[in-house]
Amino acid sequence: MNNTYPTQGNLSGLDRKDFQKTVNGKETDLFILKSKTGAEVAVTNYGCAILSIMMPDKNGKYANVVLGHDSIDHVINSPEPFLNTVIGRYGNRICEGVFTLDGKDYNLTINNGPNSLHGGPTGYHARVWDVVNQTENSIEFTYTSPDGEEGFPGTLTIHMTYRLESEDDREALYIEYEATTDKATPVNLTNHAFFNLAGISKPTPSVENQMLFIAADYYIPIDNNSIPTGEILSVGGTPMDFRLEKRIGQDINDKFQQLVNGAGYDHCYVIAKEEEGELAHAATYSDPESGRVMEVYTTEPGVQLYTGNWLGGFAGAHGATFPARSGICFEAQVFPNSPNVSYFPTSILDPGQEYTQTTIYEFGVL
């Protein structure tokens, strides 16, 4: 694969040759995006996995603020298969892997207890995507998902772009999606990046002492199989409330039933918006010690907050380790199990329509 932008000597210390491999007849590679002010993002075309996001702290010291791997073999064989990857065809869970569309029942691959999770075991996170355009600060990938893949109807053609922009004193990673289908199908694309603004290390510290604000008055409660109950409940008066910034770990071990069901936070928040589909501020996440801060913006109606409750301490890039709750995810999406809940925002894409999504992770210092 011809990668015309240099990958050697990058801030993350990743080596291109460690990411060059033939997987199912397609070539994988390492790609480095650089902003005009020096920030860097490293990605691979296997699952469009983000490998590193190098951002400065309040003293100008750069660190990798995502839980990444340092070789393609480690990405492929990661104990966390969705680590920083694109997720599809359907992010999050579909109850028992079953839904009905246009009078026909569809059965998906089951890979999470009784449910289908994140598009199945060979979803978009486990596919080698094609590179169709690359500049110094952006890269566009494409993948064509065939009719019937993991049980989903219709051939879905996806284009996804990572773009790193400098804006005033901020660095912003844009993730932009477009997709079309030849048959009605659920579509719920997202990125499953695990962030830690302290930077990865051995061990990577818990996010529990970091701070969080979420622009949401409501959340989607789940049962003990992490499937929405069908309710949309107020966060008010509960440990689910992040409308006033608080320490992530302040209530995480509370015996509140929802936190018991998720083993911590693993819930979709209903982002406050004036108009459906508008690009709106969803969350502010910060690390007081390093001074790093990240703002989340998205066009999606929901953001799944996941506090890495099931991370098991496995090794990542350059010997870093990732214990439980050492990463936090903000997965922009429609609500879980929406094909089976008529009053949730629809995830159905019809022929002739275009799916679009923009999610922005914007970095700065306090």
Hey, which residues are catalytic here?
192, 331
Structure tokens at 267: 């819930």
Bond from prior residue into 89 cis (ω within 30 degrees of 0) = yes
Rounded to whole angstroms, the Cα distance separating 334 from 358 reads 13
Checking DSSP bridges between strand 216-220 and strand 233-234, what pairing results, if any? antiparallel
Which residues fall within 8 angstroms of residue 77, CB to CB, at 6 or more apart?
Answer: none
For residues 361 and 172, the answer to whether their CB atoms sit within 8 Å is yes
Checking DSSP bridges between strand 21-23 and strand 292-298, what pairing results, if any? unpaired
Structure tokens at 132: 């169709």
DSSP 76: H
Which residues fall within 8 angstroms of residue 16, CB to CB, at 6 or more apart?
Answer: 3, 7, 8, 29, 30
At 48, is the secondary structure helix, strand, or coil?
A: coil
Rounded to whole angstroms, the Cα distance separating 199 from 84 reads 15
Instruction: Name the CA dihedral angle for 127, 128, 129, 134, rounded to a multiple of 10 degrees.
Output: 150
Report the candidate in 56, 8, 54 with the shortest Cα–Cα distance to residue 30: 8
Instruction: Name the CA dihedral angle for 119, 121, 122, 126, rounded to a multiple of 10 degrees.
Output: 100
Which is it for the CA torsion 87, 4, 63, 60, positive or negative?
Answer: negative
Rounded to whole angstroms, the Cα distance separating 121 from 99 reads 18
For residues 47 and 28, the answer to whether their CB atoms sit within 8 Å is no
